[in-house]
Amino acid sequence: MTAEVPVSIGARIPERRFGPITAQMLVRYSGVSGDLNPMHYDQEFARAAGYPGVFSQGMHHAALLATVVSDLYGAERVRRFLAQFKDQVWLGDELLCRGEITAARPAAGGTLVSIALTVTTGPDRVVLEGEADVLVAGEASGALTEDG
């Protein structure tokens, strides 16, 4: 977790970029996740199925977005993480992960912060929307230090 984390409503979390997406990334994610659908690593198979080529597993870019939240706040503080896939991620795409605080309310042990999350590629193509709830120490009055 960084020294300061945003907690006030309307605050944006630091943006983070991933990519460009490569075939090697897809093969590695296939191996670690157990998602061995050839649509994600076999160009001929993907084309035969009507796609222009292989594409990223939805959970791959969801995992990248979850990494942004857990790196910022600490994985142990994440209480809820939701993701909804909106569009395909293709080889060569660069992903931009963003988040904005939408709510902050008192909770046992601190403040529960809700974050609206998006992953985009290109100028404005949304490929994933999500939400996260994170428990932070202290009160929601601005940026808190990791000590609360």
Predicted pLDDT at 5: 72
pLDDT of residue 2: 45
Question: What domains sit in the chain, N to C, each tagged with a CATH number?
Answer: 4-145 (3.10.129.10)
Question: What pLDDT score was predicted for residue 139?
Answer: 56
Q: What is the pLDDT of residue 13?
A: 95
Virtual CA dihedral for 104, 112, 109, 145, nearest 10 degrees? Answer: -70
For residues 118 and 96, what is the distance between their CA atoms, to the nearest angstrom? 8
Which pLDDT score, from 0 to 100, does residue 83 have?
98
User: What's the DSSP call for residue 90?
Assistant: B
Residue 3: predicted pLDDT? 44
As averages over each run of 10 residues, the pLDDT of the chain (148 residues) reads 70 96 95 92 96 96 96 96 97 97 94 97 94 84 41
Q: What phi and psi values does residue 30 have, to the nearest 5 degrees?
A: -55, -45
The pLDDT, as a whole number, for residue 67 is: 97
Q: Give the burial string for 119-141 (b: 16+ CB within 10 Å, else e).
A: bbbeeeeebbbbebbbbbeeebe
Contact 42, 36 (CB under 8 A): no
Residues contacting residue 8 through CB under 8 Å, at least 6 positions apart: 101, 104, 140, 141, 142, 143
